[in-house]
Every structure is written in C-alpha cells, then in structure tokens.
C-alpha cells in the first residue's frame, strides 16, 4: 500500500512548487528625434526634414500620433507661415519604424526672426507625441532638436552714376554704373538680369544682361549698362535736370536669377525694386 502512495505524494509536491507564468514586461516606448536634411525651392521656401525613430518593445500594437508642436526661430516663437507635416504611425509588436517630419517655412515665418546682422537661423523644434498600446495604456513623449541654417539675404542694387554718352534730338544714350552688394557671407552668382529704369517717376529705358556676374561674400560688383533713353517719355523738368547734369531720383526694378554655393538651394528667380538718387555726369 505504501508503494502506491509514494508516487502520488511526489506528484502533489511537484505541483505545489511549480511557479506561475511571469507577467509580460511593460516596457516604455523608445522614441527619438533627429535632423535629416534641408530642402528649398527658393530663399523664401525652405523645408526642414527631420525623422522620429520609434521602437515598440511590447508584444502588442503601438500607435503614435502628434498632439502638438512648438517652433522657435532665433529665440522667437513662430506659428504663422509654418506648415508642419507628421503622419501617425502604427507599429506591430516588437518592431521598429520611422516617421518623417517636414517643417515648411515661407517668407512670413522667416521674416519673424529675420533680425538685422544675423547670418544664420537657429531653429528649435519640440514635438509632443501621444503613444497608445493595444491594452489601453497611454504615454506622452516630448521630443526636441535644434537646427542651424544660413540666412539668405537678397543682393542690393544701386546706381552710382548716370553718364551722358551721346545726346540727340529725341534719343540720348546713357551709361549707367550699377553697383550690386552682397550682404551674405557666401558668394553669389547673378544671371539673366532683366531690368527697367525709371527717372523721377517716369519710365526711361529697359534692358537685359545674360552674362554671369559674380559677387564676393560681403562685397560688391559694379556693372556698366548702356541704355537708349527717349526724351519723349520724360517730363520737361527731368530733361532739364539731365541736361544740367544734376542729381536724378531713380527707380531700378526687374528680375534676376540667383545662384549660391548652398547645396540644397537651387538657382532661384528674385524680383528687385530699389530706389535712390544718382548724379548725372558727362
């Protein structure tokens, strides 16, 4: 009888000491934000591209969504002129994924931080993300990063002199000395310059230049333009000023193609419209 009871007692003892299965670990989500690249269509259309890298450490689905964001440019909060694009992401159990973040800045956004004398923009981005697991547990995660990119300022045009080359009864040939200043700390190349010249509020002449003009960093280039001006389009007092070799109020407007050494910035068209006073000389 005892020989039959011994195995039964061993069975009860083994069953009594068997531990219950462990609870699955409730690990938090792993999220990080990093800078990827910059894209640009022009100096006033710049996109900052970042990425959120996410890892789901649990054996259940994890959903990520954007709950809010903040952008600072040169320590100034910026909302207007900003388009932030971040799609949600659903990660399967024990998997990894990446969410692209695109922050598009137009001229209005850049102008809010376009302080005089600055050569760069310092951008600080903060994303507030929500994370939800399939079992209903929620997390909130704030991610931040900083990006520095150059401030691209327009070249400045000015006319230093208007010189009378040949005066005729109706038409007069002029030589205009044009100065182009580069306020950037990198070189510029200008091409396809189309312009109109106005004097004392009246149209004088137009023209175009196709040769590339190079402007050194924080320097200037001078270019001579030869124009044919028709006095039939002038007021009498303007004609008297020209004949008397006095100062004339001018307006110089047009379009020009601009190239920079910045890799992500393609050649772009820029409109200019600048006024000033210029002496008229022989």
Residue 190: which of 219, 165, 164, 221 has the closest Cα? 221
Query: How far apart, in whole angstroms, are the C-alpha atoms of residue 92 and residue 144?
Result: 25
* pLDDT band at residue 174 under the 50/70/90 scheme: confident
Residue 212 gets which letter from DSSP?
-
Cα 109 to Cα 107: distance, rounded to the nearest angstrom: 5
Query: CA-CA distance, 280 to 164, in Å (whole number)?
Result: 7
Q: What is the CA radius of gyration of the chain?
A: 34
Would the pLDDT of 9 be above 70? no
The closest of 182, 181, 152 to 266, measured between CA atoms, is: 152
Count CA atoms closer than 13 A to 34's CA, side-chain side: 6
Q: Strand pairing partners for 127?
A: 69, 143
CATH number of 156-281: 2.60.40.1820, 2.40.110.10, 1.10.10.10, 2.60.120.10? Answer: 2.60.40.1820
Tokens 């600055």 sit on residue: 118
Q: How far is CA 7 from CA 10, 13, 15, 18, 125, in A?
A: 5, 10, 12, 17, 69
Q: For 28-49, what is each residue's pLDDT tens digit?
A: 999 999 999 999 998 899 999 9
For the chain, give the percent of residues with pLDDT over 90: 65
Q: Is the pLDDT of residue 22 over 80?
A: no
The domain spans of the chain are 30-150, 156-281
Give the tens place of pLDDT for each residue, 46-97.
999 999 999 999 999 999 999 999 999 999 999 999 999 999 999 999 999 9
What is the per-residue pLDDT across 96-118, written as a single tens digit (0 to 9) for each? Answer: 999 999 999 999 999 887 776 78
CA distance 201 to 280: 16
Sequence length of the chain is 282
Task: Return the exposure string of 66-105: e unless at least 16 CB atoms fall within 10 Å of the residue's CB, then b.
Answer: beebebbbbeeebeeebeeebeebebeeeeeeebebebbb
Tokens of 137: 């547990």
Instruction: Say how far apart CA 1 and CA 9 lie, in whole Å.
Output: 13
- What 3-state class would DSSP assign to 201? coil
- The CATH superfamily of 30-150 is Immunoglobulins (2.60.40.10)
d(C-alpha 165, C-alpha 67), whole Å: 67
User: Quick check: 215 and 190 in contact, CB under 8 A?
Assistant: yes
Q: Which two tokens stand for residue 282?
A: 């022989």
Cα gap 13→264, rounded to integer Å: 73
Across-strand partners of 178? Answer: 159, 223
């Amino acid at each position: 009888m005892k020989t039959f009871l011994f195995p039964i007692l061993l069975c009860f003892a083994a069953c009594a000491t068997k531990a219950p299965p462990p609870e699955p670990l409730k690990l938090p989500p792993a999220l990080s934000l990093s800078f990827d690249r910059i894209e640009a269509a022009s100096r006033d259309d710049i996109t900052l591209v970042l990425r959120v890298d996410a890892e789901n450490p649990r054996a259940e689905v994890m959903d990520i969504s954007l709950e809010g964001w903040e952008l600072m440019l040169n320590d100034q909060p910026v909302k207007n002129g900003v388009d932030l694009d971040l799609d949600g992401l659903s990660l399967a159990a024990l998997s990894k994924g990446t969410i692209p973040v695109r922050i598009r800045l137009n001229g209005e956004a850049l102008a809010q931080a376009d302080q005089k004398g600055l050569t760069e923009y310092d951008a600080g981005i903060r994303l507030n993300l929500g994370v939800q697991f399939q079992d209903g547990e929620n997390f909130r995660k704030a991610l931040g990063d900083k990006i520095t990119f150059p401030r691209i300022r327009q070249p400045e045009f000015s006319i230093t002199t208007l010189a009378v080359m040949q005066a005729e009864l109706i038409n007069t040939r002029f030589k205009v000395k044009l100065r182009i200043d580069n306020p950037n700390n990198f070189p510029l190349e200008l091409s396809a310059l189309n312009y109109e010249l106005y004097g004392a509020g009246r149209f004088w002449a137009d023209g175009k230049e196709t040769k590339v003009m190079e402007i050194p960093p924080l320097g200037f280039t001078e270019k001579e333009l030869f124009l044919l001006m028709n006095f039939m389009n002038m007021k009498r007092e303007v004609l008297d000023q020209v004949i008397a070799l006095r100062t004339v109020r001018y307006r110089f407007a047009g379009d020009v193609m601009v190239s920079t050494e910045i890799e992500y910035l393609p050649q772009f068209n820029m409109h200019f419209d600048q006024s000033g006073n210029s002496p008229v000389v022989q």
